[in-house]
Each structure stands twice: as structure tokens, then as C-alpha cells.
């Protein structure tokens, strides 16, 4: 067996641009064995065809292995972690089938599309706030002022979470998704406990006074096979975490790509909804907001071809960001070229940013809708918006799960000004 490549997801240089590393792995074969900074080994799947094959193959289980060794102390953080980890992304059929059926009913095209006017209003309010901030300070952070709050407000609607609580939720979710050694000691544990306490109280509140939101419907689902309290807790966590941090990264990465590709930005502004949809799809491919799927584990030995024979019990990460830049399926894969997503263009393959197989993202339509509303509104309102930092110096979130810039500072641009603020005469 070849020597395993070292991988340190907390390294800021890797977080900013992991693609050279993934390209090196891919050149060795569709799946490579790596050694993580904590000394454990894993298989990273970086080929596009192999990524889709793994995600559709029941020999790759989503159920996390029981941790060996001494039991962890019975702290509130450990109880929270164990409880919140029982969500459907961590399950296989038949459990997964039941949990998925109960929740995806809420994400039918009709119900998602009905959120459009609400999303338009929320986005318009944020753009007005951004204009005020740019006028006051001459600069603003697109992540803080736009890319973060919009998905939080939208998922807050879906979950029925009060607006005042959303900043806390962002912070806790950010922390639990980061490697423990990238943050101050105890910060990750504190966040697990806080999320557990918050959602426990939210479920109690929904039981007492149900609202019109999806989460209230889940709490009050008394049908056979409905969710118990532990499942509800895990589901709330999953919807929050899966629903906004990914979409935040999609919006932030798309904005950054357009700010650094003026030709593509002008083409989008000229081209209308089809061109904007192509920008969204190309961002999903080029800057995949979910860098890797959740971990899989082989239930038996699997031969992926190209010399990659995975033993039973192997930890496997499907790296969507790498699969989406596989040159065998996407010519000139490192180039950001929305035109390739248009019908009649190259259209070599559908990207895998929303996954594949039984766990394919049930929120894909909602995420696309948010981006299709938010991006044209932002760039039509601020036609001269300019990046106020060196794009190569922007900090990225550490870790292998989600990927996107943590800050995108902007100014109104050399000519300044705002055109056609929504809601203003």
C-alpha cells in the first residue's frame, strides 16, 4: 500500500484553497488513503464517477461507528453531541426512509415556491440595510450583512425560530462544525450544550403553542411512525445546520466570484434569469458549499477500481468539491465559466454539489430559489460594488465539511451610488 498523504483540515492555507491538494490525490486514483492530523486514517473519494457510485451504494453506511475506548464523561456537552447526532444523515434504510419521508413532505416544489414572496421581502430588507451601512461606513461585509442573515431568516421561517435568537444559532452552528483544535478550548463543547438546551426549549414551546411553521407540524405529527423527542431534537439541528450554512456559503462564494470576474457579472446583469441560474449552478460546481459529504463507512470490502480497494470498516469521505472539478467530466475545471451550465453549452455532467442517491439534498430547490432571488437583487442594486480586500487573503472556514469565505468586504465602488433600491420610489 502506498504511503498515506497527510491532511490537516485546520491549516488556513488548505481551508482557503484545498484544490491543489485534491488534484494531487485525484491524480493518484479515484480514492486515496490519507492520514489526518489527529493520526487516524481515512479514504478520500475525489473522482466524479466514483463519488456518485459511492453515494448510491448501500455498502457505504452513514451510521457513525460506536466510539471505542473509555466512555466519555457524562457531561451536558457529550449528551448533546450524542443526541444531536441521531439525525437522518447519520442513518441508513429503513430508519432513514421513515425519517426522510416525514420531513421532505415539507419541501415539495409547491411549498418551497410559495416562500418566494417572503424571501423577496427578506432580501429587499437586507439590501436596504446594506445600502445604509455602505452609506454610513463606506464599507460593509457581505457575509455579515447579506449572505448569513438571508438563509438564517429563511430557515428561521421554516423552523419557527424567533428572530432575536438567530445570531446565537449562527455562532453555535459555526463552532460545532469546526475542528476542536481550531477554536479556543471548550468553545465547541459549549456550543453543543447551548444547541441542545435551545432546541429542547423550542420543542417544549411548540408543544405548548404550535405555530404555522414546518417544525410545529413535525412536533405535532401524531401519525404512526411520527418523531419522538430525541428525533425531533436531532431534526431541528439538522435542518438548521444543513439549511443555512451551506446556503450562506453559496451566496458568499457566488458574490465573491462575480466581484472577481467582472465579465461574468456583466453577462449575468445583461442575461436575465437563465444566466443567473447558470451563475448559481457554476458556483455550486466551482465553489461547492458542502466540501465533503458526511462520513461513510464500508460494511464490506469494496473495489472502486483504479487500484482503490477499500477494506471493510474504512472511513470514507466523498469530496464533492473535488468531484466537481474532475477534469474527466468538467473541461478546464478550475475556471469559473457559467456559460458551460447553459443548455446548448458544454453541459458535460450535472454537478454533485447537492449529493446523490438516497441522501440527495431535500433543500436543493429552496437553496436555488434563495440564490436566484438574492444575487440579481444585490448586483442590480449596487452596480459598482467592489471587493475591498485581496481575494487571496480572505479567511475561509477550517474543516472538511462546509466551505466558503468568512468575510467578503465591499465598497460601493469608484462611482459609488445605488440604483433602484427595492421598495423605494
Q: Which residue is nearest to ligand HEM (CB)?
A: 363
Q: Quick one: 293 or 418, whose CB is closer to ligand HEM?
A: 293
C-alpha dihedral sign at 144, 147, 153, 158: negative
Q: Which residues, 6 or more positions from 402, have their beta carbon under 8 angstroms from its beta carbon?
A: 177, 245, 246, 249, 289, 290, 291
DSSP codes, 45-63: E--HHHHHHHHT-TTEE-S
Q: How far is the CB of 58 from ligand HEM (least distance, A)?
A: 13
Instruction: Give the phi and the psi of residue 11 in degrees, each rounded to 5.
Output: -70, 120
Question: What 3 state SS string does 340-358 have?
Answer: HHCCCCCCCCCCCCCCCHH
Q: How far is the CB of 311 from ligand HEM (least distance, A)?
A: 21
Given the C-alpha cell 468568512, which residue does it identify? 406
Q: Quick one: 244 or 382, whose CB is closer to ligand HEM?
A: 244
Spatial separation of the C-alpha atoms in residues 151 and 143, rounded to whole Å = 11
DSSP codes, 6-38: EE-TT-HHHHH--HHHHHHHHHH-SEEEEEETT
Q: Which residues of 17-39 are buried (b: 16+ CB within 10 A; e: fewer)?
A: ebeebbbebbeebbbbbbebeee
The DSSP secondary-structure symbol of 260 reads H
Q: How far is the CB of 292 from ligand HEM (least distance, A)?
A: 8
Q: Quick one: 100 or 206, whose CB is closer to ligand HEM?
A: 100
Q: Quick one: 9 or 243, whose CB is closer to ligand HEM?
A: 243
Q: Quick one: 242 or 374, whose CB is closer to ligand HEM?
A: 242
Cell of 376: 440579481
Residues that bind ligand HEM (CB under 6 A): 55, 88-89, 100, 155, 158, 238-239, 242-243, 246-247, 250, 289-290, 293-294, 320, 353-355, 359, 361-363, 366-367
Q: How far is the CB of 162 from ligand HEM (least distance, A)?
A: 18
Q: How far is the CB of 359 from ligand HEM (least distance, A)?
A: 4
Angle at alpha carbon of residue 401, lines to 308 and 406, rounded to 5°: 140
Q: How far is the CB of 237 from ligand HEM (least distance, A)?
A: 10
Instruction: Give the phi and the psi of residue 57 in degrees, each rounded to 5.
Output: -105, 115
Spatial separation of the C-alpha atoms in residues 349 and 418, rounded to whole Å = 38
Q: Quick one: 250 or 385, whose CB is closer to ligand HEM?
A: 250
Q: Quick one: 26 or 52, whose CB is closer to ligand HEM?
A: 52
Q: How far is the CB of 107 from ligand HEM (least distance, A)?
A: 7
Q: How far is the CB of 69 from ligand HEM (least distance, A)?
A: 26
Strand order in the sheet with 5-7: 5-7, 31-36, 41-45, 315-318, 296-298, 60-61
Q: Quick one: 16 or 365, whose CB is closer to ligand HEM?
A: 365
Q: Quick one: 236 or 418, whose CB is closer to ligand HEM?
A: 236
Q: How far is the CB of 371 from ligand HEM (least distance, A)?
A: 7
Q: How far is the CB of 46 from ligand HEM (least distance, A)?
A: 15
Q: How far is the CB of 302 from ligand HEM (least distance, A)?
A: 17
DSSP codes, 358-377: GG--TTHHHHHHHHHHHHHH
Spatial separation of the C-alpha atoms in residues 41 and 363, rounded to whole Å = 31
Q: Quick one: 54 or 80, whose CB is closer to ligand HEM?
A: 54
Instruction: Give the phi and the psi of residue 38 in degrees, each rounded to 5.
Output: -85, 5
Spatial separation of the C-alpha atoms in residues 7 and 194, rounded to whole Å = 30
Closest CA to 256 of 66, 389, 74: 389
Amino acid at each position: 500500500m502506498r504511503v498515506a498523504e497527510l491532511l490537516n483540515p485546520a491549516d488556513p492555507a488548505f481551508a482557503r484553497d484545498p484544490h491543489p491538494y485534491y488534484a494531487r490525490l485525484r491524480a493518484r486514483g479515484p480514492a486515496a488513503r490519507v492520514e489526518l492530523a489527529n493520526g487516524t486514517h481515512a479514504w478520500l473519494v475525489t473522482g466524479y464517477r466514483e463519488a456518485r457510485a459511492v453515494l448510491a451504494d448501500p455498502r457505504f453506511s452513514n451510521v457513525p461507528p460506536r466510539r471505542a475506548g473509555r466512555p466519555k464523561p457524562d457531561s451536558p456537552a457529550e449528551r448533546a453531541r450524542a443526541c444531536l447526532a441521531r439525525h437522518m444523515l447519520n442513518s441508513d434504510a429503513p430508519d432513514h426512509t421513515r425519517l426522510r419521508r416525514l420531513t421532505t413532505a415539507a419541501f415539495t416544489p409547491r411549498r418551497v415556491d410559495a416562500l418566494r414572496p417572503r424571501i423577496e421581502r427578506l432580501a429587499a430588507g437586507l439590501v436596504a440595510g446594506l445600502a445604509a451601512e455602505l452609506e454610513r461606513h463606506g464599507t460593509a461585509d457581505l457575509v455579515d450583512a447579506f449572505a448569513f442573515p438571508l438563509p438564517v431568516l429563511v430557515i428561521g421561517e421554516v423552523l419557527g425560530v424567533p428572530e432575536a435568537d438567530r445570531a446565537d444559532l449562527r455562532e453555535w452552528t459555526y463552532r460545532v462544525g469546526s475542528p476542536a483544535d481550531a477554536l479556543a478550548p471548550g468553545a465547541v463543547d459549549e456550543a453543543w450544550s447551548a444547541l441542545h438546551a435551545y432546541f429542547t426549549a423550542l420543542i417544549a414551546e411548540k408543544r405548548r403553542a404550535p405555530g404555522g411553521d414546518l417544525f410545529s407540524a413535525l412536533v405535532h405529527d401524531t401519525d404512526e411512525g411520527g418523531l419522538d423527542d430525541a428525533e425531533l431534537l436531532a431534526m431541528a439541528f439538522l435542518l438548521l445546520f444543513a439549511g443555512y450554512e451551506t446556503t450562506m456559503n453559496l451566496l458568499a462564494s457566488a458574490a465573491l466570484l462575480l466581484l472577481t470576474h467582472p465579465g461574468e457579472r456583466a453577462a449575468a446583469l445583461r442575461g436575465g434569469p437563465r444566466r443567473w441560474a447558470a451563475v448559481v449552478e457554476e458556483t455550486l460546481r466551482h465553489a461547492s458549499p458542502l466540501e465533503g459529504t458526511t462520513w461513510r463507512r464500508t460494511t464490506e470490502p469494496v473495489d472502486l477500481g483504479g487500484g482503490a480497494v477499500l477494506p471493510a470498516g474504512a472511513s470514507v469521505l466523498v469530496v464533492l468539491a473535488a468531484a466537481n472539478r474532475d477534469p474527466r467530466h468538467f473541461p478546464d475545471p478550475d475556471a469559473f465559466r457559467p456559460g458551460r451550465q447553459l443548455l446548448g453549452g458544454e453541459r458535460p455532467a450535472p454537478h454533485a454539489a447537492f449529493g446523490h442517491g438516497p441522501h440527495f439534498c431535500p433543500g436543493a430547490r429552496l437553496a436555488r430559489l434563495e440564490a436566484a432571488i438574492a444575487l440579481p437583487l444585490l448586483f442590480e442594486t449596487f452596480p459598482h460594488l467592489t471587493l475591498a480586500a485581496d481575494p487571496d487573503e480572505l479567511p475561509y472556514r477550517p474543516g472538511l465539511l462546509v466551505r466558503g469565505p468568512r468575510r467578503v468586504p465591499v465598497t460601493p465602488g469608484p462611482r459609488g451610488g445605488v440604483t433602484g433600491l427595492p421598495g423605494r420610489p
